[in-house]
Structure 1
Amino acid sequence: MTHKIVVVYQSLLGIYGDRGNAMVLTKRLTWRGIDAELVMVEPGDPVPADGLIYLLGGGEDWAQIAAVKALEADQGLHKGLDAGGLLFAVCAGYQLCGHSFTVGDNEEVFPGLGLLDVETRRGDVRAVGEILTRWTKPDGSSSYLTGFENHGGFTTLGSDATPFAKVEVGIGNGTDGFDGATQGNVVATYPHGPILPRNPELADYLLERALGQALDPLLRDEVNAEHKQLRAERLHIVRTTKNRAEQTR
């Protein structure tokens, strides 16, 4: 069986290199000897209902509106989630999964896909820069996640959505001290980077959740060593930047 990693509307929701998230998911499956296929779907193409993981990335206001209209008309994503597929949504992709979001200087409200019990409205400041969050995993342990956020919307969670990670540096949702949300088969977050190349532990979590099984550790010393070094550097930089900002207040 070949598992489909589906990038939804790259031309609309791909301005921050979020396709890299799909590449990481596909590669980490094939490295383990699991058949995987990277599927690119553009507006007008049917979204396959048999995807393992679907990905929505970042985009501009008009792109969010166009993506919602196309996805509602197609219904393939909805069918895929109903069939057990997992959706990983980033930034604009996160916002359009909610009940509604605003665009433009007049903050016109547009309906979202309703996959998450969240609402997004324009914030007081724009969130731009490195973000560091602490993600609590299902087993109760925790891990730091690094990324880059660039969004003007602040997101408020309703009672059916659960915060994804606690913000230590950055803004995230902007309203509750957390970043992202999870609900049902949807995992959403603000950071780009892309986030999964930066945080392969999160990539494996998504794969394990979608597959419904634990994965063997990847024994690739050269990849693991390089990632460990880059991760240490990113954590050092974001923490140093935070300390400097606090000292100048």
Structure 2
Amino acid sequence: MSLEIVQVYQSLLGIYGDQGNTKVLQKRAEWRGIDTKVTWVEPGQPLPETGDIFLLGGGEDGAQTAAVKALKADGGLHRAVDRGAVVFAVCAGYQILGHSFGVGDADEPREGLGLLDVTTTRGPRRAVGEVLHRWIGRFGDDAWISGFENHGGYTHLGDDAQPFAHVEVGVGNANDGTEGALQGTVVGMYPHGPVLPRNPALADWLLELALGHELDPLYLPAHDALRRARLAAVRA
């Protein structure tokens, strides 16, 4: 069993430490004996046709525009989705997966990649702070998603995209009670943190989505204690 994780355009979409999501996926796969390869791709380099999970992180307006241009020219991310690969995108990465997103104070529209049925425009206030969301369809302690949001764009979902979570603390997509979007194997959401170290059940779910089967649980008491402390801090 093997897995290839692809970090997409760290130089453009990596200003909030979201590459930590890649490291967590790698370690949680390796701890289960899964042979794991991490591929780092920058603009001008082709995205691998063998990738199983593609990750995009946060970035500024100019970086978003440049990333979309390079990804459209490459075409590899669209081909990956067509063959069933997982795409997990955070914040700016989430926005560019949609049909359009706004840039600058004038909220000038830019065409996105169209991999999620969402659109993003500038919101009435910037969303900044710790967040807590309840993962739709998941129950128990693992249903809680914590992180840190920092975005001026508000994202609105179309009919083909499903919200990923309900907001308990924070703004989320557009202060409408929803957070993130899911469409097939494409997932976008706003929390940094990075979000996967904070929420190991979410990391394992992405691995399972890519591998096509359930994983044996990992028992890591120290990690569980840290997660409980973070959840308590957000609730406080």
Query: 2:179 corresponds to which residue?
Result: 179
Any conservation in 1 of the 2:55–2:89 contact (CA below 8 Å)?
Answer: yes
Any conservation in 1 of the 2:15–2:58 contact (CA below 8 Å)?
Answer: yes
User: Helix, strand or coil for the counterpart of 2:216?
Assistant: coil
Any conservation in 2 of the 1:156–1:175 contact (CA below 8 Å)?
Answer: no
User: Helix, strand or coil for the counterpart of 1:208?
Assistant: helix
Query: 2:94 corresponds to which residue?
Result: 94
Relative to the length of structure 2, the TM-score reads 0.96
Any conservation in 2 of the 1:54–1:87 contact (CA below 8 Å)?
Answer: yes
Q: 1:104 is matched by which residue type in structure 2?
A: G
Identity %: 63
User: Helix, strand or coil for the counterpart of 1:50?
Assistant: coil
User: Helix, strand or coil for the counterpart of 2:33?
Assistant: coil
Query: 1:3 corresponds to which residue?
Result: 3
Instruction: Map residues 97-108 of structure 1 onto 2, 5 A cutoff.
Output: 97-108=97-108
The CA distance in 1 between the partners of 2:132 and 2:2, in whole Å, is 34
Query: 1:244 corresponds to which residue?
Result: none
The CA distance in 1 between the partners of 2:68 and 2:169, in whole Å, is 31
Q: How many Å apart are 1:15 and its aligned residue? A: 0.5
Query: 2:52 corresponds to which residue?
Result: 52
Instruction: Map residues 68-79 of structure 1 onto 2, 5 A cutoff.
Output: 68-79=68-79
Unaligned runs of 5+ residues in structure 1 are 241-249
The CA distance in 1 between the partners of 2:39 and 2:16, in whole Å, is 18
Any conservation in 1 of the 2:185–2:209 contact (CA below 8 Å)?
Answer: no
Any conservation in 2 of the 1:155–1:175 contact (CA below 8 Å)?
Answer: no
Query: 2:66 corresponds to which residue?
Result: 66
Q: How many correspondences in the alignment?
A: 234
Query: 1:141 corresponds to which residue?
Result: 139
Q: How many Å apart are 1:176 and its aligned residue? A: 2.1
Query: 2:229 corresponds to which residue?
Result: 233
Instruction: Map residues 74-223 of structure 1 onto 2, 5 A cutoff.
Output: 74-137=74-137, 141-142=139-140, 143-219=143-219
Structure whose alpha-carbon radius of gyration is higher: 1
The CA distance in 1 between the partners of 2:8 and 2:127, in whole Å, is 25
Q: How many Å apart are 1:185 and its aligned residue? A: 1.4
User: Helix, strand or coil for the counterpart of 1:205?
Assistant: helix
Q: How many Å apart are 1:180 and its aligned residue? A: 0.4
Q: 2:87 is matched by which residue type in structure 1?
A: L
User: Helix, strand or coil for the counterpart of 1:105?
Assistant: coil
Relative to the length of structure 1, the TM-score reads 0.91
Any conservation in 2 of the 1:50–1:83 contact (CA below 8 Å)?
Answer: no
The CA distance in 1 between the partners of 2:225 and 2:217, in whole Å, is 19
The CA distance in 1 between the partners of 2:175 and 2:98, in whole Å, is 15
Q: How many Å apart are 1:50 and its aligned residue? A: 1.5
The CA distance in 2 between the partners of 1:197 and 1:214, in whole Å, is 19
Q: How many Å apart are 1:136 and its aligned residue? A: 2.4
Q: How many Å apart are 1:184 and its aligned residue? A: 1.5
Q: How many Å apart are 1:215 and its aligned residue? A: 0.7
User: Helix, strand or coil for the counterpart of 2:148?
Assistant: strand
Q: How many Å apart are 1:216 and its aligned residue? A: 1.0
Residues 1:19 and 2:19 are matched in the alignment? yes
Deviations 1:84-103 (A, max 9, x none): 11000100000000000000
The CA distance in 2 between the partners of 1:179 and 1:187, in whole Å, is 11
Query: 1:31 corresponds to which residue?
Result: 31
Query: 1:243 corresponds to which residue?
Result: none
Q: Runs of at least 4 residues of structure 1 off by over 6 A?
A: none
Report which stretch shifted further, 113-122 or 230-239: 230-239
